[in-house]
Amino acid sequence: MSTFTDTKRPPLPSDVNRGVTPAANGTRSTTVLTADCEFKGALAFSGELQLHGRLEGTIESEGGALTVGEEAMIKAEIRVNDVLIYGKVQGNVYATGRVELRGKAEVYGDLHTNRLAMDDGVVFVGRSNTLNGKSQPSSDFSKMFTRLGASANKNANGAAPAATPQTSPVK
C-alpha cells in the first residue's frame, strides 16, 4: 500500500511552488490517501493533501493545497487555497488561490476562484465565479462601436435604425 513508489501518481503540488506555508522544519507536510481508501465526513488538513481514493463530505484547509488524483472520486464541498484536479469531483470548489483541471478531470459543480486553468478535454459542468472581494470587469459593451456614430448606438440600445435617404437612379 505504499504510495511513495507509485509511478502512476500525478505530479505533487510541491513539484511547483504553490505558496503553502512550510512546516516548522522547513519542509511541507504531505498527507496521502491512497486509491484503496474510502472516507465519509469532514476532512481538514494543513500543508498538502493527495487524494487518490473516494471521499464524500467536506474538505477544508486554510492555505493548503489539494491534489485529486486520476482514480479519485470526490463528492464534497471543497474549500482550500489551491486545488489540482485529475479525477472526478462532484460539488462546489472554493479556492482562494488557484483551481487547475488537468488530464481527464471531470468536475460537476461551481468553481469559485480568481485563477482558473483548464486542459483541453476536461469535463466541466457548472459555473465559474470569481471570489467576493475582487472587482469584476464590467460586462457593458454598449460603447463598443465608437466610430459608427449615434445611429449605431441607437441600434445597439434597441431603437429603430435611423432612416437613410433613398437616392433615385439618374436617368
Q: Which helix (DSSP H) or strand (DSSP E) does residue 30 occupy? A: strand 30-33
CA quadruple 106, 109, 113, 116: dihedral sign? positive
- Cα 69 vs. chain centroid, distance in angstroms? 16
Cell of 13: 503540488
**Angstrom distance (rounded) from CA 95 to CA 80:** 5
Domain boundaries, the chain: 20-129
Looking only at the bridges linking them, the beta strands covering 93-101 and 106-108 are unpaired
Q: What is the pLDDT of residue 11?
A: 53
Q: What is the pLDDT of residue 20?
A: 41
Q: What is the pLDDT of residue 147?
A: 72
pTM of the model: 0.66
Backbone angles phi, psi at 52, to 5 degrees: -115, -5
Q: How many CB atoms lie within 10 A of CB 139?
A: 5
Q: What is the pLDDT of residue 12?
A: 47
Q: What is the pLDDT of residue 3?
A: 40
Determine the Cα angle at 100 with ends 94 and 106, to 5°: 85
pLDDT profile of the chain (171 residues), mean per 10 = 44 45 60 92 94 96 94 97 97 96 97 95 94 62 68 54 55 54
**Angstrom distance (rounded) from CA 167 to CA 99:** 60
